[in-house]
């Protein structure tokens, strides 16, 4: 039987030898948090950052939503944590982690790591991300999961010398920086598109014809008067789901103005044929969430056969350019405000089919519609390209964590 060695699969050539097994308590001091009495005004609004688990969303943690005073700190079980502390969510959302960029404190939903001088905080940050499932496995609780300090102290890790930790951390930080740049680029493109759409659909900016002449004024028409077939929806019954078959979309499958097939359920071909008599989506259609998540929208860009449930309406404008134009119209505040007005006040919210047909659409002529649709589609293509790079970079980072750690 071969010996199991504590050597990573991927390693910088200047390092050799096995990593040493250590308890996390030998690598860092583990510190809980606390909350001053919320009713005492003098404990709050000071200059000490005070974090809750919901604020741990990025690698580097900067400013908290609420702050406490020195008196508030002194009267609670919270402790002032130094810059570089790993803020580790130990309750409910177990395993979320970030690095404090300044002195701070936390509520009791944390077990934070003050890394000692013989170890690198960014190395341990990545080790914890790689081993997040182990922390969750050790957590317990009936109302919500929680892992305590004593359980965390038992967890063992294989750790190299500080110089190798720092080399690994620097390399992974460069990857993290690339991911952050892509996230920022994606956000900026999204904001640019949003601002441009506001100007286009408010007619603050107008396209011109190829010969330089002005296009005619826009018209306003009801959606039901401009679609090629009546707006329809999926079956108003719960189908029998199967392991394999035809994808059957619910409103949860409309994600970020696209169709997400990753968590889709399936129906039999026989049921699909029956449901298709009422509604059969195809490429070029626009899907609209009309119940629960009212106002969600997606453009059908696939030739894959699928069907939809009743919380989704199917809009078939006609030709592809007009379909794309209608798709973008449904992302504007002008349309969303109408949808909000028509939505009833039930617990989940619902907009009726008749009211969908009453939605007013602002219509330029066909040539200007095409120019608008083409411009916004080109921006969407750039956003999707950056999104693909982002997904690939995140997958690359995930693979590195598996290969560079023991």
- Can you give the CATH number for the domain in which 228 is found? 3.90.220.20
Do residues 224 and 150 both lie within one domain? no
Please identify which residue in the block is written with the tokens 């950052």.
49
Do residues 276 and 345 both lie within one domain? yes
Query: Which of these three, 363, 380, 396, is where a domain ends?
Result: 363
> Does any domain span residue 13?
no
> Does any domain span residue 314?
yes
How many domains does one find in the chain?
Answer: 2
> Does any domain span residue 170?
no
Find out whether 95 and 89 touch, Cβ atoms under 8 Å: yes
pLDDT of residue 237: 87
Q: Domain residues for 300?
A: 219-363
Do residues 223 and 356 both lie within one domain? yes
Q: Identify the helix (H) or strand (E) that includes residue 32.
A: strand 28-32
Helices 366-404 and 320-329, packing angle to 10 deg = 70
Do residues 238 and 145 both lie within one domain? no
Do residues 151 and 245 both lie within one domain? no
Do residues 58 and 154 both lie within one domain? yes
Do residues 354 and 223 both lie within one domain? yes
Do residues 26 and 154 both lie within one domain? yes
> Does any domain span residue 355?
yes
DSSP secondary structure string for all residues of 146-199: B--HHHHHH-EEEE--HHHHHHHHHHHHHHHHHHHHHHHHHHHHHHHHHHHHHH
> Does any domain span residue 31?
yes
pLDDT of residue 95: 95
Do residues 136 and 31 both lie within one domain? yes
Do residues 235 and 137 both lie within one domain? no
> Does any domain span residue 404?
no
| pTM, to two decimals | 0.86
Do residues 48 and 150 both lie within one domain? yes
Interstrand relation of 241-242 and 265-267 (parallel, antiparallel or unpaired): antiparallel
pLDDT tens per residue across all 406 residues of the chain: 445 578 999 999 999 999 999 999 999 999 999 999 999 999 999 999 999 999 999 999 999 999 999 999 999 999 999 999 999 999 989 999 999 999 999 999 999 999 999 999 999 999 999 999 999 999 999 888 999 999 999 999 999 999 999 999 999 999 999 999 999 999 999 999 999 999 999 999 999 999 999 999 999 999 999 998 899 998 888 889 999 999 999 999 999 999 999 999 999 999 999 999 999 999 999 999 998 889 999 999 999 999 999 999 999 998 778 999 999 999 999 999 999 999 987 667 889 999 999 999 999 999 999 999 999 999 999 999 999 999 999 999 999 999 999 9
pLDDT of residue 2: 46
Do residues 150 and 250 both lie within one domain? no
> Does any domain span residue 392?
no
> Does any domain span residue 322?
yes
Query: Which of these three, 111, 126, 159, is where a domain ends?
Result: 159
Q: How far is CA 178 from the centre of its chain?
A: 18
């Amino acid at each position: 039987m071969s010996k199991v060695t504590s050597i990573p699969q991927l390693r910088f050539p200047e390092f050799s030898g096995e990593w040493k097994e250590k308890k996390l308590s030998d690598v860092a001091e583990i510190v809980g948090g606390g909350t001053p009495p919320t009713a005492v005004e003098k404990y709050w609004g000071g200059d000490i950052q005070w974090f809750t688990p919901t604020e741990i969303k990025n690698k580097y943690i900067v400013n908290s939503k609420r702050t406490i005073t020195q008196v508030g700190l002194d009267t609670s079980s919270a402790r002032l944590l130094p810059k570089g502390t790993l803020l580790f969510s130990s309750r409910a959302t177990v395993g979320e982690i970030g690095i404090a960029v300044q002195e701070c404190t936390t509520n009791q939903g944390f077990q934070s790591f003050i890394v000692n001088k013989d170890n690198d905080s960014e190395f341990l940050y990545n080790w914890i991300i790689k081993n997040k499932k182990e922390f969750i496995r050790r957590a317990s609780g009936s109302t919500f999961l929680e892992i305590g300090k004593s359980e965390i102290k038992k967890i063992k890790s294989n750790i190299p010398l500080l110089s190798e930790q720092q080399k690994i951390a620097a390399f992974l930080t460069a990857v993290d920086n690339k991911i952050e740049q892509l996230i920022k680029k994606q956000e900026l493109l999204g904001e640019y598109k949003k601002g441009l759409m506001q100007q286009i659909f408010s007619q603050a900016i107008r396209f011109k014809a190829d010969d330089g002449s002005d296009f005619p004024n826009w018209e306003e028409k009801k959606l039901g008067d401009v679609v090629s077939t009546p707006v329809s929806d999926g079956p108003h019954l719960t189908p029998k789901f199967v392991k394999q078959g035809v994808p059957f979309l619910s409103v949860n499958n409309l994600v970020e103005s696209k169709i997400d097939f990753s968590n889709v359920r399936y129906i039999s071909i026989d049921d699909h044929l029956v449901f298709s008599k009422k509604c059969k989506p195809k490429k070029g259609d626009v899907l609209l969430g009309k119940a629960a998540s009212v106002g969600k929208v997606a453009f059908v860009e696939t030739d894959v056969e699928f069907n939809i449930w009743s919380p989704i309406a199917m809009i078939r404008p006609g030709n592809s350019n007009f379909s794309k134009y209608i798709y973008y119209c449904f992302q504007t505040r002008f349309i969303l405000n109408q949808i909000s007005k028509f939505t009833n006040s039930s617990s989940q919210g619902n907009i009726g089919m008749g009211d969908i047909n009453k939605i007013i659409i602002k219509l330029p002529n066909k040539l200007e519609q095409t120019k608008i649709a083409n411009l916004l589609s080109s921006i969407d293509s750039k956003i999707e390209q950056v999104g693909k790079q982002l997904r690939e970079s995140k997958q690359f980072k995930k693979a590195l964590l598996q290969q560079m750690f023991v």
